[in-house]
Chains A and B, each alone.
Chain A
Amino acid sequence: MNLPPPAAGNGHRPVLTVAALSKAFGCLCVLENINLQVHRGETICLLGPSGSGKSTLLRCINWLEKPDSGQVYLNGERIGVTTGGVLMGDRDLSAIRTRIGMVFQHFALWPHLSVLQNVMAAPVYVQRRPKAQVRAEAEGLLASVGLSDKRDTFPAKLSGGQKQRVGIARALAMRPELLLFDEPTSALDPELVGEVLVVIRKLARDGMTMVVVTHEMDFAREAASRIVFLDRGRVVETARPDKFFVAPATERARQFLQRYESNSTRPTSSDRPQSFP
């Protein structure tokens, strides 16, 4: 069974708390009463069919989308609303966003900047940290994602997998307290998925706190501390991966996993060789 999360207030405050969050686009309700806690070092995988609100939830966490109601806290600090209860201005929002790294489905690298400049931009221009120090750190990060030789290349000249590894290095350069991944491998050719997942797995092992929206079931099974399954804007099920993938508690999750298995192009572990007519 699930271990109870460490209770708040005893020094184990969650890194991320989402409380009763709802969001609608017009009359289309995208997220309804979402509650979520992420503790230090946890990797949460958000799973669910397309249109279930996973990406919107991610964008509501750092207020790229403004939630209609509910609260988001980063290490106990309310995001988007000041302690006085008014909406945060650009400056406050900026300050809190620099503490959350984000990795985008379509990489979203800045096309006019070189790889190294992409990684250095936010720490230098937003966090205003000393350039020499940022540079050294950025070079280290590029080395850790295996892209030292690409530092002066422009994003357009990279493969998808390389772009995404730069995207991860760029997010890490801000020394974030929390990393958000929005389908980091969905836009990649199948043979490039692996090189990105290797990097994310390593971050999970190193204890980075992460929320990952993904369709990579193998990755989720192996790297997630918990699976949060969304459907039609609601959290349908939250479970440890060993439980979720073997014996999902809800019918909806069962259907989702079944359909995934049948759609999967991954070779099954069948003992008989595939025969062609």
Chain B
Amino acid sequence: MHDFVVVWSERALLLRGLGNTILLSLAASVAAFALGALVALVLMSSKSVYRRLFAGFVDAMRCVPFLLFAYIVYYGLPSFGLNLDNWSAGLAALTIYNTAYLAEILRGAWLAQPVDPIDAGYAFGFTGLGHFRRIVLPPLLLSAAPVVGNQIIQIVKDSAFLTVIALPELTHAASSIQSRHYVPFAAFITAVLLYWTLCLVIEACVASIGRLAEARR
């Protein structure tokens, strides 16, 4: 119990870590969703050169462990003259990696959509991005919300890896508390509970999108 008192005394550090995790996950989720939607558009297009290029990107990302990818972005890219600070590198790694997953999720959901309403979009004069945004994407989002929510939870959890590039997020905070006070159980279990809370919030968002979808089913 004493250990948790120690953790409580470091609550400012922990909350700052939590804030950074939220910021990081939120920014990466929004960016990865937007980019993933665009990549899905390319994956579904008839332009075969770009389609193959991005299919290759998606495959590559899915086969690389995230930790390794984060190392490459932070430690590897400088050898090509691209120096990113740990925030930019962390955000970039998290975004690019999950763009691939979200693109694949949206592509799968798209394939399962009835083709008629999409055709009707063209017949009524919608084109290009306007067609995608107004006609294709909203039903996709409604039907894929649970899987997208899952991926966002994955983003939150992946952000913990970024402690290795010294990003002051939640895991980093917990780990610095335990190393200074030697309270590993209390520090890490507190962090776990905070991650869990974040997941509950995400699940609540998914549930409310689910209610919108239910009204339209």
Residue pairs across A and B with CB atoms within 8 Å: the count is 68
Across-interface contacts of A25 in B (CB, < 8 A): none
Nearest B residue to A154, CB-CB: B216
Known contacts A112-B139, A154-B216, A156-B216; decide if A122 and B125 are in contact (CB<8 Å): yes
**Cα(A52)–Cα(B114), bound, Å:** 24
Assess the B119–A108 pair: CB atoms within 8 A: yes
User: Per a CB cutoff under 8 Å, which of A97, A104, A109, A112 touches B125?
Assistant: A97
Assess the A104–B128 pair: CB atoms within 8 A: no
Assess the B128–A90 pair: CB atoms within 8 A: yes
Assess the B124–A102 pair: CB atoms within 8 A: yes
Across-interface contacts of B138 in A (CB, < 8 A): 112-113
Across-interface contacts of B112 in A (CB, < 8 A): none
Assess the A125–B130 pair: CB atoms within 8 A: yes
Across-interface contacts of A170 in B (CB, < 8 A): 124
Assess the A126–B120 pair: CB atoms within 8 A: no
Q: Does B14 contact A (CB under 8 A)?
A: no
Q: Does B142 contact A (CB under 8 A)?
A: yes
Q: Does B108 contact A (CB under 8 A)?
A: no
Q: Does A11 contact B (CB under 8 A)?
A: no
Q: Does B121 contact A (CB under 8 A)?
A: yes
Assess the A108–B117 pair: CB atoms within 8 A: yes
Assess the A121–B119 pair: CB atoms within 8 A: no
Nearest B residue to A97, CB-CB: B125
User: Per a CB cutoff under 8 Å, which of A91, A108, A121 touches B127?
Assistant: A91
Known contacts A107-B116, A108-B116, A112-B138; decide if A102 and B123 are in contact (CB<8 Å): yes
Q: List 7 A-B contacts (CB under 8 A).
A: A104-B120, A106-B114, A110-B139, A122-B126, A127-B125, A154-B216, A170-B124
A residues apposed to B, CB below 8 Å? 62, 64, 90-91, 93-95, 97-98, 100, 102, 104, 106-113, 121-122, 125-127, 154-156, 170, 174
